[in-house]
Amino acid sequence: MRLYDTASRTLRDFTPLTPGHVSMYVCGATVQAAPHVGHIRSGVAFDVLARWLRFSGYEVTLVRNVTDIDDKILAKAETENRPWWAVATHYEREFQNAYAILGCTPPAAEPRATGHITQMITLMQQLIERGHAYSADGDVYFDVRSFAEYGNLSGQRIDDLLPAGDTAGDTRKKDPRDFALWKSAKPGEPSWPTPWGEGRPGWHLECSAMAQAYLGKAFDIHGGGLDLVFPHHENEVAQSKAAGSDFANFWLHNAWVTTSGEKMSKSLGNSLLVTEVVKRVRPIELRWYLASAHYRSNLEFSDAALSEAAVAFSRVENFVQRATDLAGSIDLPAQVVPAFASALNDDLNVPAALAVLQNSVTAGNTALAAKETGAVKSALIEVRAMLDVLGVDPLNVTWTSGANDDSLTEIADALIQARIAARTTAKAEKDFATADAIRDELKNIGVVLEDGADGVRWNVER
Ligand SMILES: [Zn+2]
Written as one letter, the residue type at 144 is V
Q: Which pLDDT does position 66 carry in this prediction?
A: 98
CA 310–ligand 1 middle distance (angstroms): 32
Q: What number of CA atoms fall less than 13 Å from residue 178's CA on the CB side?
A: 24
Q: Which pLDDT does position 402 carry in this prediction?
A: 63
Label residue 181 exposed, middle or buried (CB < 10 Å: 0-12, 13-18, 19+). Answer: buried
Instruction: Note the pTM of the prediction, 2 decimals.
Output: 0.88
User: What is the C-alpha separation between 182 and 344, in angstroms, rounded?
Assistant: 41
Closest CA to 197 of 83, 121, 85, 112: 121
Q: Which pLDDT does position 376 carry in this prediction?
A: 97
Contact in structure between 69 and 88 (CB atoms under 8 Å): yes
CA 207–ligand 1 middle distance (angstroms): 5
Q: Which pLDDT does position 172 carry in this prediction?
A: 87
CA 33–ligand 1 middle distance (angstroms): 17
CA 137–ligand 1 middle distance (angstroms): 26
CA 70–ligand 1 middle distance (angstroms): 13
CA 233–ligand 1 middle distance (angstroms): 7
Q: Which pLDDT does position 453 carry in this prediction?
A: 80
Q: Which pLDDT does position 168 carry in this prediction?
A: 67
Low-confidence ranges of the chain (pLDDT < 70): 168, 266-267, 402-406, 462
Q: Which pLDDT does position 289 carry in this prediction?
A: 98
Closest CA to 203 of 39, 49, 74: 74
CA 242–ligand 1 middle distance (angstroms): 17
Angle, vertex CA 275, rays to CA 270 and CA 276, nearest 5: 50
Residue 300 vs residues 45, 59, 225, 353: alpha-carbon distances, Å: 15, 33, 15, 20
Closest CA to 361 of 333, 340, 343, 391: 340
CA 108–ligand 1 middle distance (angstroms): 17
CA 46–ligand 1 middle distance (angstroms): 14
CA 425–ligand 1 middle distance (angstroms): 65
Q: Which pLDDT does position 266 carry in this prediction?
A: 65
Q: Which pLDDT does position 165 carry in this prediction?
A: 75
Residue 32 vs residues 87, 104, 271: alpha-carbon distances, Å: 7, 21, 18
HEC profile for the chain?
A: CEEEECCCCEEEECCCCECCEEEEEECCCECCCCCEHHHHHHHHHHHHHHHHHHHCCCEEEEEECEECCCHHHHHHHHHHCCCHHHHHHHHHHHHHHHHHHCCCCCCCECCEHHHCHHHHHHHHHHHHHCCCEEEECCEEEECHHHCCCCCCCCCCCHHHCCCCHHHCCCCCCCCCCCEEEEEECCCCCCCECCCCCCEEECHHHHHHHHHHHHHCCEEEEEEEEHHHHHHHHHHHHHHHHHCCCCEEEEEEEECCEEECCEECCHHHCHHHEHHHHHHHCCHHHHHHHHHHCCCCCCEECCHHHHHHHHHHHHHHHHHHHHHHHHHCCCCCCCCCCHHHHHHHHECCCHHHHHHHHHHHHHHHHHHHHCCCHHHHHHHHHHHHHHHHHHCCCCCCHHHHCCCCCHHHHHHHHHHHHHHHHHHHHHHHCCCHHHHHHHHHHHHHCCEEEEEECCEEEEEECC
